[in-house]
Structure 1
Amino acid sequence: MEIGLANLSLADLPAGSAGCITSVEVGGLLRRRIMDLGMLPGTQVRCVRKAPWGDPVALQVRGSIIALRAEDLRKIKISPIINREG
């Protein structure tokens, strides 16, 4: 497993792909909610499913499945995790 260098938003992560949170660029109550869900820098997340129009997005975080709006996910930056088999 190798962590990519590009910083993308969590909203850009394709379904079935994983990433590692690098930063949470939001404040106030939304930041607290995101942190309470366990979405801290260094946490690995996997995009489980996206709704037909891309909103909401289902994510696997620390063994739980949560759904968040794409608007909120754009404020969470990640490095994609690239699996290299073979």
Structure 2
Amino acid sequence: MNSDEDTGLFFIKPPEMVIGRVRLAPEGPEPYRVVFRLGDQVIAEHPVPTIREGEALIRREMPGIQFSAMQQRPHPEAPKWRLEAVPSDTTD
């Protein structure tokens, strides 16, 4: 018997979180790209010229993307919908 059965507690998988990462893009128009994922699903990709600009894009866009993901899939048991790509705004 494990400790979960002893206490009657059980664990619920937390809802999937949106993750943004800067990746190399050797075949793209820019040397790097920012990839936003929700679980295993790619929800947006944006080419960026530097890692620093990619990290800035993640910090700027992540709150809006995470909010949209929670609105579209508020519970881990809810069906997954494909989120629209977030528009790129790299003119700052």
TM, length-normalised to structure 2:
0.23
Higher helix share: 2
Q: Which has the higher contact order (CA 8 A, sep 6+)?
A: 1
Tell me the TM-score normalized by structure 1.
0.24
